[in-house]
A and B are shown apart, each in its own frame.
Chain A
Amino acid sequence: MKAISNNGKQGKIGILKSINKYKVQIFCVLPAILIITIFKYYPFVTSVYQSFFNWNGANVKIFEGLGNYKDLLKDKMFHDAIFNILKVCVATILINLTFPFIAAELVSNIKNQKIQKFFKLGFIIPMVVPFMVVILLWKWILAGDYGIFNMLLQGIGLGGFTKPWLGTESTSLGAIIFINFPWIAGLPFLLYLAGRQNISEALYEAASLEGAGTFQKIIHIDIPLLSSHRKLVITYMLIQAFQMFDQPSVLTGGGPGTATLTPALYIYQRAFNYNQFGYSSSIGVALFILVMVITFLNQRIMKESDVMD
């Protein structure tokens, strides 16, 4: 007994000694650890706990067990939100594999250095405009009456096709994806451009000697050599797309019906419009699991394509 308590005492002194020895280091990492623990890890743990309750955020808190999750399985709005975001993800990936890549190829094939620099810088500037301003600008472009896009259609004799693009159920999600057309000014463009410029000139010269044209060079040199950049673009854009909130929140409120409802917006609405904080937490937890699965699958697919390369 005595020996144990002695050991305990020594252990305590040992800890105090090492705290003293490393006090500067501990003091330095403490702010980061505290902020991250309080505002990230703690909320993360409590969200799992709260998801088992029927809770309005204030006075009503009833334990429900897995009740919220059972409701979630039957919740048509939740299913619609998931389905919408999957469509957005697929569209985002297809867009970002093509348009910015084509633009990066066009820009890097410009021979005149000054003109090339002009286009490079030019496509970066729109990235610097706050995304919310872009969204509000496109709200006006896609509006029903006096919308610029509809005026354009009328101008070129397609007046029959005009409609409130964001307010029509069949077109609203497409209209949101269409924002920022032709989708060049963005991170993927920068990544492709950087990747393209890292490819050695010697490769192109060798290809030219063998008689390869521009298209053949793109297909046989650029596309294979930019595979790591493509993977980065896919991973990054997938994460971005999955979190879509700003566009539907400002432009459509998730409507008409559930046509543009996204998971992030649904969590927000359940909590702040309906005071269903417990249910809302369960949506968050379910989505976290879904994101982990998607990330895992994405990484597996990337790894396998590595082996294939």
Chain B
Amino acid sequence: MKKSKLNLAAGVSIILLFVITFYPFFLLIFGSLKNKMQLVNNPWFLTFPLHFENYSIAFGQIVRPIFNSFVVTFIGIGITLVASALAAFVIAQLELPGKKIVYYYIISLLMVPGFVILIPQFLVVRDMHLYDTYLGQVFPPAANNIAMGVLLMTTFFKGLSKSIMESAKVEGCSNMQMFARIVLPLSKPIIATVSITTGLNFWNNYMWPLIITTSKNVSPVIVAVTRLKANIKLGEGPLFAAYVIASIPILLLFAVASEQFVEGITAGAVKG
């Protein structure tokens, strides 16, 4: 009797927590389909007619920023993967005097909180004439992601079987062939993890692009949505539609690779 009461209480609590967690997101989706009056009269539930035109209005406003976010995210992932995989390969598998120092040089900057060096970073990028460009948005955050990538990939590469590497060497495989033909194919899981974490970091970044961009031609969607204003005639519906659109790419990525996603979210915290 007591046990079933406890189970009931637990069940009710978890459902309640779940509803409170999700309801705001439903309000957002409902709101994105409403006109001004519907939103004021009843924000709580879906009301008809559904105003899908909110989405086309919103899309027109943020299509360029979304494109920009994709460009920055893809360049960011590319640079991060190449730089960290190559460095981690050397540190984990090859011979290089002082490679321990190289390793600690790369990862120890993870201790420095980003905003502490915000101003000098801005000046460096400005002096390189990268202000208000795609590359200017990519580099400083890429440095962080490379540090994390080297940390995660070095651990992974060290775990790869030594005997495969040695037999490859005996067969006359060069270092770069070993990297391309043996290490990379065996490292798909860690490459996926680093790509997803890096991609998330770039897509969601707000502070750095806020500082380093001004024009609509390059600034990303996360900055753009904060600048949208509710239209007097149409209300907040198109605004909410824009928020939903800005979330879709990552939600899609999650739908495709949820396991690597969870791995990616946790790996950074656990290893760092």
Residues of A participating in the B interface, judged by any CB pair closer than 8 Å: 18, 22, 24-26, 28-29, 31-33, 35-36, 38-44, 46-47, 50, 57, 102-103, 106-107, 109-110, 119, 121-133, 136-138, 140-141, 146, 148, 151, 181-182, 184-185, 187, 190-191, 194, 213-214, 232, 236, 239, 242-243, 245-246, 249-250, 263-264, 267-268, 271-272, 277, 280-281, 284-285, 287-288, 291-292, 295
Contact = CB atoms under 8 A, between A and B. Distances in A.
Contact of B113 (A121, A130, A268, A291): A291
A151 B139 CA distance: 45
Interface of A is mostly: helix
Contacts of B13: 102, 106
A241 to B, nearest CB: 11
A148 B243 CA distance: 17
Nearest to A185: B21
Contacts of A214: 6
A263 to B, nearest CB: 7
B251 interface: yes
The 5 A-B pairs with the shortest beta carbon distances in the complex, nearest first, are A43-B120, A264-B115, A32-B87, A28-B86, A31-B83
Contacts of B105: 33, 36
A16 B65 CA distance: 48
12 contacts: A25-B175, A31-B83, A33-B102, A36-B109, A39-B121, A42-B120, A46-B120, A128-B250, A284-B119, A285-B116, A287-B113, A288-B112
Contact of B106 (A22, A36, A133): A36
Contacts of B6: 213-214
A121 B117 CA distance: 37
B112 A40 contact: yes
Interface string B185-209: 0000000000000000001101100
A146 B42 CA distance: 10
A28 B40 CA distance: 59
A126 B115 contact: no
A257 B265 CA distance: 36
Contact of B222 (A119, A132, A137): A132
B182 interface: no
Interface of B: 6, 10, 13-14, 17-18, 20-22, 24-25, 27-28, 31, 39-40, 43, 79, 82-84, 86-87, 89-91, 94-97, 99, 102, 105-106, 109, 111-125, 139-140, 142-144, 146-147, 150, 175-176, 203-204, 206-207, 210-211, 222, 225-226, 236, 243-244, 246-247, 250-251, 254, 258, 261-262, 265-266, 269-270, 272
Given A32-B106, A119-B18, A284 B118 contact: yes
Given A39-B143, A277-B119, A284-B116, 13 more contacts: A25-B99, A33-B106, A36-B143, A36-B147, A47-B120, A50-B120, A129-B25, A130-B246, A136-B225, A137-B28, A146-B39, A191-B266, A236-B269
A123 B258 CA distance: 13
A29 B103 CA distance: 9
A36 B22 CA distance: 40
Given A22-B97, A25-B94, A121-B258, A31 B86 contact: yes
Interface of B is mostly: helix
Contact of A47 (B31, B117, B246): B117
Contacts of B39: 146
B207 A187 contact: no
A239 B40 CA distance: 39
Nearest to A27: B86
Most A CB within 10 A of own CB, among B31, B97, B139, B226: B226
A102 B105 CA distance: 40
Most A CB within 10 A of own CB, among B117, B142, B254: B117
